[in-house]
């Protein structure tokens, strides 16, 4: 009797598990990769007729600008101001979307590559292309070729360093999910264990508190950190560009056919000089840093 009841419970549990598992069909998986018809009506979108773009919140300058408006903090992606917002709207326009057809959604970095159906058509959030990452998601072509740099407090010993090798004895930090940590580990090879902060806020606070000597971030972000976030800090310098370089790409569900259409739009924007103009408009400050040897 007891045994029968136990078997029944187990069977029910198993059925429930099976039910949960098989009700939803993955929409991200079923895509056509070969035929790249980029008419607005044929695009593979989360919501037909709307381009849903993801980024993290807060969205930081100089990548995003405008007055913050709920739910967005620090700046507002919907403003069209800031480099990534401007690029996103320029791409949307190329694809035939009016500004009002673009919807922004909050996608924390770690959600941008989470398995399963995506809540966005593409995510634009200073995500660096790497071959390992590209096995799990699809990346667009480069919309910005990026250099890493290091921010330090003025007047501290590290502030007089002028070479990459000179950074070795210091405790360095990076933000989780950036390629900056890999850069510290592979290129600087510091003698002290580096730190990796889960958020921009934590990294900035640790630099302010002098819990770390230097913060490695991409160059445009470095200028925002010094200008707004950490008083009395400076961009010590940028690191020499690697062969092949590092670039930011938009992130798509693996195999989403939309990536070809976005790449087409990016090519037009690059060849027509629009990307260059937008960089000058929003990232002009990010050019004057000395290069560390």
In the set 35, 39, 100, 135, which binds another protein (CB under 8 A)? 135
> CB of 105 within 8 A of CB of 119?
yes
Residue 90: closest CA among 103, 100, 105, 80 = 80
Identify the residue among 195, 200, 221, 263 touching another protein (CB under 8 A): 195
Sign of CA dihedral 194, 159, 216, 175: positive
Q: What is the rounded (10 degree) CA torsion for 155, 158, 159, 164?
A: 180
- Regarding 216 and contact with another protein (CB under 8 A), the answer is no
Strands of the sheet containing 251-252, edge to edge, are 102-106, 51-55, 122-123, 251-252, 138-139
Asked if 155 touches another protein (CB under 8 A), the answer is no
C-beta of 7 vs 241, nearer to another protein: 7
**Considering only 6-14, 64-72, 79-87, 282-290, which stretch makes contact with another protein by CB under 8 A?**
6-14
Structure-block tokens of residue 241: 């560009």
Tell me: does residue 90 bind another protein (CB under 8 A): no
Among 4, 5, 22, 34, binds another protein (CB under 8 A): 22
Instruction: For residues 125 and 146, give the distance between their C-alpha atoms in angstroms, rounded to a whole number.
Output: 13
User: Shortest approach of another protein to residue 191 CB, angstroms?
Assistant: 15
Instruction: Kindly state whether residue 165 participates in binding another protein, applying the rule CB under 8 A.
Output: no
Residues 101-120 interacting with another protein (rule: CB under 8 A): 109-110, 113, 115-116
Helix H or strand E encompassing 34: none
**At its nearest, how many Å lie between another protein and the CB of residue 276?**
30
Choice between 21 and 41, CB closer to another protein: 21
Contacts within 8 Å (CB) and 24+ apart, 74-80? 77/53, 77/104, 78/102, 78/104
Give the footprint of another protein on this chain (CB under 8 A).
3, 6-7, 10-11, 13-14, 17-18, 20-22, 24-26, 29, 109-110, 113, 115-116, 130, 132-133, 135-137, 173, 176-177, 179, 181-182, 193-198, 202-203, 205-206, 208-212
């Amino acid at each position: 009797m007891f045994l029968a009841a136990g078997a029944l419970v187990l069977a029910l549990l198993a059925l429930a598990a099976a039910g949960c598992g098989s009700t939803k069909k993955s929409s991200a998986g079923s895509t056509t990769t070969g035929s790249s018809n980029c008419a607005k009506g044929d695009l593979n979108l989360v919501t037909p007729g709307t381009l849903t773009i993801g980024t993290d919140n807060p969205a930081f300058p100089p990548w995003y600008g405008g007055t913050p408006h709920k739910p967005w903090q620090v700046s507002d992606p919907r403003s069209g101001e800031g480099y990534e917002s401007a690029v996103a709207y320029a791409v949307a326009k190329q694809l035939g979307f009016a500004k009002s057809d673009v919807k922004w959604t909050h996608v924390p970095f770690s959600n941008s590559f989470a398995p399963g159906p995506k809540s966005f058509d593409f995510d634009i959030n200073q995500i660096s292309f790497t071959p390992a990452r590209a096995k799990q998601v699809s990346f667009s072509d480069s919309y910005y070729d990026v250099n890493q740099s290091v921010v330090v407090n003025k007047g501290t010993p590290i502030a007089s360093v002028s070479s990459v090798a000179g950074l070795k004895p210091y405790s360095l930090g990076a933000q989780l999910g950036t390629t900056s940590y890999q850069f510290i580990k592979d290129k600087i090879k510091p003698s002290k264990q580096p730190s990796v902060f889960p958020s921009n806020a934590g990294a900035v606070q640790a630099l302010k508190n002098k819990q770390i000597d230097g913060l490695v971030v991409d160059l445009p972000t470095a200028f925002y950190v010094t200008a707004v976030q950490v008083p009395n800090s400076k961009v010590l310098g940028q690191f020499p560009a690697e062969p092949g370089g590092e670039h930011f790409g938009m992130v798509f569900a693996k195999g989403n056919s939309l990536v070809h259409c976005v790449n087409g739009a990016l090519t037009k924007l690059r060849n027509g000089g629009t990307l260059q103009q937008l960089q000058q408009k929003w990232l002009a400050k990010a050019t004057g840093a000395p290069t560390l040897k």
